[in-house]
Structure 1
Amino acid sequence: LPADFVQHRIYVTAVTTEGDSLRMLTDTGGGTAVVLSSPAVRRTGRPVIDTLQGRRPMQVVPVPVFRTEGPVPQTRAERAIIAPSRRAQLVGYDDGRLGMHWFAGRIWTFDYGDETLRLHDTADELSFAPDHTVDLAFRTDSTGTRVGHHPRVEANIDGTTRSFLFDTGATTVLTDSAQGRLDAPRRIASGFIRASLFERWTNKHPDWTVVEGASPALGGSPLIRVPEVEIAGHTAGPVWFERRPDRTIQKTLAGSMDRRVAGALGGSLFRHFRITVDYPNARAYFQRLD
């Protein structure tokens, strides 16, 4: 696919049947709806067809239909929501975001070395070395039918194996002070960790680097630098995690994952790998790049 890797976050450019180009962040941890930025909605003339009520009402527009002859496949999402302009600019959606329904039911290779994103027709000619292949878990109903498309994967940190969301779109937006301290751009690929575990790590490992007030989220979320993460028979690191309240992580993912998770793994870890994710067969093969 015509992919663009920016700080280990992956964008694709899709062309709609009307001829509009949309540069979209791809996010395995993204929600059920496609997200479009306000400028993209205005530019493409997409009409508002509904408003979702809640603490922050969100306007709904028709899902863009991508050209069938184009390399970017159509999403299975049923609706698109308009992201507030400030939010879209802050996180760096550009024209929008493709979430879990775009990835669901397909086989992908995320190559962070070559900076390529591949979509495979079948797994017949792909190799999945057993020592470096892990199971993925998805939420299912009472009949065993998959009803959630957020992949859960296990990884070992600090001697304990825990469950995480496989989240290619995990992003931390840095404050000015954090940018200066880390010599980093405004947005970096990261991971998320629940606050209770964050506190456990900082108490046990005072030598692990912590950047206080690293992100403006939630009044100033800190980052922690975990020296290494074990996953699929590999050890890689360091990996940055942003602290998020326990209740935020659980509430956000409760309806789309099969069990509680400790947080999310993203590009800060994945940058060390070429990863083939086979959604139909619920498995992921990690190949170490260095």
Structure 2
Amino acid sequence: MHNGRFGRGSPRVRRVVAGIAPVLCLLATAAAWALPSRRLMPAVFRADRVYLECAATHGGTLRFYTDTGGAMVIAAPALARLGLQPRTPADPTLRAQLGRGARVIAMQSLGLAAPIPLAHAPMVAVPAMRQLPGWPPQGDGILGQAWFAGHVWTWNYPAKRLWLDLPGRAPEGARAVPLGFPVDAQGRRIDDFPRIVVRIAGKSVPLLLDTGAETYLTRAALAQLRAGGPRLRATSMIIASLFERWHREHPGWRIIRQAQAGTMAAMIEVPRVRVAGLRVGPVWFTERPDANFLKVMSSMTSAPVYGSLGGNALRDLRMTIDYPRARAWFMRGR
């Protein structure tokens, strides 16, 4: 969230769908409720982050990063491999949101052979799939909130499986929590960034439910982690003011300064987080400027959020998000 130029960092790109979201939501919801059976996605889980690997009828394979808190993005080299050209948005509102020189392409134009749903929102063409200079490339594109919208999804993190699930059925034995989505004065969904409230140190903390939240650790930070692992990994995020309050109130919580490559942001280890009453942790939270969430992200959620809950907090859980009914279910993964 808010690390780079696209997906997690650009309000302009994030708002690609905002002006047409009510129509897209209706279309996607209708498609979800017509689903005949649950469908296993061609997903690859890496360090609690989820990619889809999809064969294209034009030839080759496209690798998409999936991100409930991100935008619809595709890299120019991927389009070149497919022999496709993005276009200037025809819709003037979309052109104004994206800015001069922006180019988009319909997801349907990619010719994906894999049985995955197609978002009605356009994909924004970007030069390369890097969040920040010096970060490694992250596949060919991002499937963001507009791709998840209108469907029911189940992430089984321990089993490393992502399902497009059947609607209207609560997972047996799971714990339910409401999700917040922004709506207009008529009650119509404006955006599909899910807001969840968790408990940390006995207090409620509202967060973006953000399966794509990630960080790229400095080598010095990686060396301080007991568990080791890759530098590019899932993270959770928290605003700087709450980060510092946690540090004051809980001096025993471990902090690593200059932990994130590119931003030199610190991170703090929260021993326990309660998600739907289930205890998870310890969970590392990366520090982000207050404005990133209180001004930018909170303008696209149902109420203010103070950070994001990422895959590193979900790694032991099975999570189902029902977008049409604005609910999520959690249980220990199996």
Establish whether TM, by shorter chain, passes 0.5.
Answer: yes
CA RMSD of aligned residues (A): 2.4
Equivalent residue runs for 1:194-233 within 5 Å: 194-218=239-263, 220-233=264-277
Equivalent residue runs for 1:111-122 within 5 Å: 111-122=156-167
SS in 2 for 1:80: strand
Match of 1:93 among 138, 143, 156: 138
Q: State the AA in 1 paired with 2:306.
A: A
1:149 aligns to 2:192 (yes or no): yes
CA contact (8 A) 2:77 2:127 kept: no
Flag structure 2 segments of 5+ consecutive residues without an equivalent. Answer: 1-40, 90-94
Match of 2:320 among 245, 254, 276: 276
What is the distance in 2 between the residues matched to 1:211 and 1:57?
Answer: 40
**TM-aligned CA distance change 1:135 to 1:38, over 3 Å:** same
1:39: which partner in 2?
A: 77
1:163: which partner in 2?
A: 206
What is the distance in 2 between the residues matched to 1:214 and 1:57?
Answer: 35
1:252 aligns to 2:296 (yes or no): yes
What is the distance in 1 between the residues matched to 2:269 and 2:199?
Answer: 15
- Relative to its length, the structure with more helix (as a share) is 2
What is the distance in 1 between the residues matched to 2:101 and 2:143?
Answer: 17
Q: State the AA in 2 paired with 1:197.
A: L
What is the distance in 2 between the residues matched to 1:283 and 1:17?
Answer: 35
**TM-aligned CA distance change 1:212 to 1:74, over 3 Å:** same
**TM-aligned CA distance change 1:211 to 1:174, over 3 Å:** same
Flag structure 1 segments of 5+ consecutive residues without an equivalent. Answer: none
Q: Which moved more, 1:53-62 or 1:267-276?
A: 53-62
Residue by residue, what CA displacement relative to the aligned partner does 1:236-287 show, whole Å, maximum 9, x if unpaired? Answer: 1000100000001233313421111110000111101001111111111101
Q: State the AA in 2 paired with 1:74.
A: L
**TM-aligned CA distance change 1:166 to 1:44, over 3 Å:** same
Q: State the AA in 1 paired with 2:185.
A: S
What is the distance in 1 between the residues matched to 2:317 and 2:168?
Answer: 19
Q: State the AA in 1 paired with 2:52.
A: V
What is the distance in 1 between the residues matched to 2:99 and 2:288?
Answer: 20
**TM-aligned CA distance change 1:68 to 1:86, over 3 Å:** closer
Deviation, 1:39, is 2.2
Deviation, 1:127, is 2.6
Deviation, 1:54, is 9.4
2:46: which partner in 1?
A: 6
SS in 1 for 2:331: strand
Match of 1:136 among 171, 179, 192: 179
- Percent identity reads 36
Q: Which moved more, 1:269-278 or 1:251-260?
A: 251-260
SS in 2 for 1:149: coil
- Relative to its length, the structure with more strand (as a share) is 1
CA contact (8 A) 1:3 1:12 kept: yes
CA contact (8 A) 2:54 2:112 kept: no
Residue by residue, what CA displacement relative to the aligned partner does 1:105-131 show, whole Å, maximum 9, x if unpaired? Answer: 00010000110000023234x43547x
CA contact (8 A) 1:163 1:260 kept: yes
2:88: which partner in 1?
A: 50
**TM-aligned CA distance change 1:276 to 1:55, over 3 Å:** closer
2:238: which partner in 1?
A: 193
Residue by residue, what CA displacement relative to the aligned partner does 1:58-77 show, whole Å, maximum 9, x if unpaired? Answer: 64231332657632111232
CA contact (8 A) 1:148 1:255 kept: no
Per the normalisation by structure 2, the TM-score is: 0.78
Q: State the AA in 2 paired with 1:99.
A: G
Q: State the AA in 2 paired with 1:148.
A: D
Q: State the AA in 2 paired with 1:9.
A: R
What is the distance in 2 between the residues matched to 1:283 and 1:95?
Answer: 30
What is the distance in 2 between the residues matched to 1:58 and 1:179?
Answer: 39
1:237 aligns to 2:275 (yes or no): no
CA contact (8 A) 2:167 2:322 kept: no
**TM-aligned CA distance change 1:58 to 1:20, over 3 Å:** farther
What is the distance in 1 between the residues matched to 2:200 and 2:277?
Answer: 13
Match of 2:103 among 30, 51, 60: 60
- Structure 1 stretches of at least 4 aligned residues deviating more than 4 Å after TM superposition: 51-58, 66-69
Per the normalisation by structure 1, the TM-score is: 0.90
What is the distance in 1 between the residues matched to 2:101 and 2:80?
Answer: 16
What is the distance in 2 between the residues matched to 1:105 and 1:201?
Answer: 36
